[in-house]
Amino acid sequence: MNGSSRRSPREIAGVLRERIRAGVLRPGERLPTQAELAEEFGVERGAVRQALRVLQQDGLLSGVTKGSPPRVAEPRYGPDEPQPTMVALAPRLTDAFAAPHVRIDAVCLTAQSLIPALGEPLRLIHEGKLRPERIDARILLPSREINLAFPVSVEAGGAEDDAVHQRWLAMRNAQGQVLRYNLQALRGTHDIEVHVTFRALPFTPPVKLYLLNGDEALFAHYMITRRAEATDRGTLEMYDAVGSESLLFSFEQRAGQRDAAFVEESQKWFDALWETISTDLTLS
């Protein structure tokens, strides 16, 4: 493999992180050797060691030494505890993609968490390990026309308010377009029937909700924090929600009457809201 196509340590860590989060590499399981990983990614062992140290710092690996391969660390959360979106969403989406007809309904501020979470099921489709016949995705995102409750500028009024809004709008549009492209590409590569539709919410969602195949509901409150972000226009001070860190609560049809009722009512609420809006969202 030539140098132009080699992965950086950060990219290697990202691939391994997704395998861990999707359950391809399970807690207690040893990773391949550094030599095997170096061959897989076409890099020197030093790059692999840097990637492994990053994952150890993130609490995902244990026993990172020059000796035997490290193990996947035991999860910090119990099976029934809420988990951060970036931990909980990917393995559940992977399970959902094992069904012949995949249905994803989502209400969120942007598609930021969905894109990396879809990485593992898409990889498994390309490897021939998953083969759904149809994928339907319905995504509700805030309209560009509303005054968002968040993100908003710390200094109310003026040009900075518009800069924060334009930043969010650019993220909403770009991430939505990537999500649509990644799924619709499966039509040509794997002859899968794919439908991806976005509609515009007339309000800022205080929560995020993912409904998977009508079998599971994942629910989280957005937690608003003050933070700064460097942009081409300078540093923006804003009140914002870091959705990838929001704790997701899982409710499954098979988990009992309370969970089943939550899934069913959430699906009814989503379907009614979807029909009420009726106009598709343009990501531009």
Cα–Cα distances in Å, from 64 out to 11, 59, 71, 91? 18, 11, 8, 24
Whether residue 185 is contained in a domain is answered as yes
Whether residue 77 is contained in a domain is answered as no
Residue from 173, 100, 94, 105 nearest 137 by CA: 105
- Residue ending a domain, choose from 49, 72, 95: 72
Q: What angle do CA 189, 25, 107 make, to 5 degrees?
A: 60
Whether 188 and 247 map to the same domain: the answer is yes
- Residue ending a domain, choose from 72, 99, 126: 72
Whether 181 and 216 map to the same domain: the answer is yes
For residue 283, the 8-state DSSP code is -
pTM for this entry: 0.72
Whether 37 and 169 map to the same domain: the answer is no
Give CA–CA dist 255/147, Å, rounded.
39
Whether residue 188 is contained in a domain is answered as yes
Whether 153 and 248 map to the same domain: the answer is yes
| Domain residue limits at 157 | 83-280
* 9-21 and 119-126 helices, crossing angle to 10°: 90
Domain count, the chain: 2
Give CA–CA dist 131/119, Å, rounded.
15
Strand order in the sheet with 83-84: 83-84, 247-252, 216-221, 207-212, 101-107, 134-142, 193-201
Whether 129 and 169 map to the same domain: the answer is yes
End-to-end CA distance of the chain: 38
Whether 217 and 248 map to the same domain: the answer is yes
Helix (H) or strand (E) holding 231: strand 224-231
Tens digits of pLDDT across the chain (284 residues): 434 457 888 889 888 988 887 778 888 888 999 999 999 999 998 899 888 988 887 778 887 765 678 888 866 544 567 888 888 898 899 999 999 999 999 999 999 999 999 998 999 999 999 999 999 999 999 999 999 999 999 987 666 788 899 999 999 999 999 999 999 999 999 999 999 999 999 999 999 999 999 999 999 999 999 988 887 777 889 999 988 888 999 999 888 888 899 999 999 999 999 999 988 998 98
Q: Computed from CA positions of residues 28, 33, 36, 40, in that sequence, does the dihedral angle turn out positive or negative?
A: positive
